[in-house]
Amino acid sequence: MSLDPTTVRRIASLARIRLEEQDVARVQGELNGILGWIEQLQAVDTEGVEPLAGGGQGGTQLALRLRADKVTDGGIPDAVLANAPDRAPDREGAFFGVPKVVE
């Protein structure tokens, strides 16, 4: 399965990474190099094998622990907004700001 330039552009767009037109060919080559290499996995017989999803040892042995339904967090809007590159002025409330989104 090798990537064409259209797919490379689509993947970059899905990943929200700007890709300049002059870089498409280079990136295409790099990705195809890696994909060609991982292609060897297709040779493994995995018939009937249960996929291992989670973290190695933990994944299949651990069952999820559940937390009590108690309010133990929040109430820290200043800390949540402290690192924000665009913080809406406080008179409007404590918000993150982004360019206007048209729905």
Partner 1 sequence: MSYTIEGETGPWELVIGLEVHAQVVSQAKLFSGAATEFGAAPNSQVSFVDAGFPGMLPVPNEECVAQAVRTGLGLNAHINLVSRFDRKNYFYADLPQGYQISQLYHPIVGAGRITVELSDGSTKEIGITRLHLEQDAGKSLHDQDPSRSFIDLNRSGVALMEIVSEPDMRSPEEAGAYLTKLRQILRYLGTCDGNMDEGSMRADVNVSVRKHGEPFRTRCEVKNVNSIRFVMQAVEAEARRQIEVWESGGTVDQETRLFDTARGTTRSMRSKEDAHDYRYFPDPDLPPLVLEEAWVAELKAALPELPDARRDRYMRDFGLSAYDAGVLVLEKETAAFYEEVARGRDPKQAANWVMGDFFAALNRTKRDIADPPVSARQLGALLDLMADGTLSGKLAKEVFEAMVETGEDPGAIVERRGLKQVTDSGAIEAVVDKVLAGNADKVAEYRSGKDKLFGFFVGQTMKAMQGKGNPALVNAVLKAKLG
Partner 2 sequence: MNPTDFTLAGARAALDERAISAEELTRAHLDAIAALNPRLNAYITVTAEQALAQARASDERIARGEAGPLEGIPLAIKDLFCTKGVRTTAASRILGNFVPPYESTVSGNLLRDGAVFLGKANLDEFAMGSANLTSAFGAVENPWKRAGDPEAKLVPGGSSGGSAAAVAARLALGATATDTGGSIRQPAAFCGIAGIKPTYGRCSRWGIVAFASSLDQAGPVARTVEDCAILLRSMAGFDPKDSTSVDLPVPDFAAACERGVKGLRIGVPREYRLDGMPAEIERLWQQGLDWLREAGAEPVEISLPHTKYALPTYYIVAPAEASSNLARYDGVRFGLRVEQGGDLKDLYERTRAAGFGAEVRRRILIGTYVLSAGYYDAYYLKAQKVRALIRRDFEQAFAEVDAILTPATPSAAFAAGEASDDPVTMYLNDVFTVTANLAGLPGLAVPAGLDAKGLPLGLQVIGQPFDEETVFAVGRAIERAADIRALPAVRAHA
Rounded to an integer, what distance in angstroms lies between the CA atom of residue 60 and that of residue 53? 8
In the complex, least distance from residue 91 CB atom to partner 2, rounded to whole angstroms = 21
The contact pattern for partner 2, residues 42-71, with x = CB under 8 A and - = no contact, is: x-x-x--xxxxxxxxxxx--x-xx-x----
- Residues 6+ away with beta carbon under 8 Å from 60: 50, 52, 53, 54
Establish if 38 lies at the interface with partner 2 (CB under 8 A): yes
Q: What, of partner 2, partner 1, none, does residue 35 touch, CB below 5 to 8 Å by kind? A: partner 2
Among the residue ranges 26-34, 41-49, 57-65, the one whose residues contact partner 1 (CB under 8 A): 57-65
Q: How far apart are the first and last CA of the chain?
A: 36
Q: Which residues pair with 87 in a beta bridge?
A: 96
The contact pattern for partner 2, residues 70-99, with x = CB under 8 A and - = no contact, is: ------x--xx-xxxxx---------x-xx
Amino acid at 68: A
Q: Which tokens belong to 52?
A: 């291992």
Q: What, of partner 1, partner 2, none, does residue 91 touch, CB below 5 to 8 Å by kind? A: none
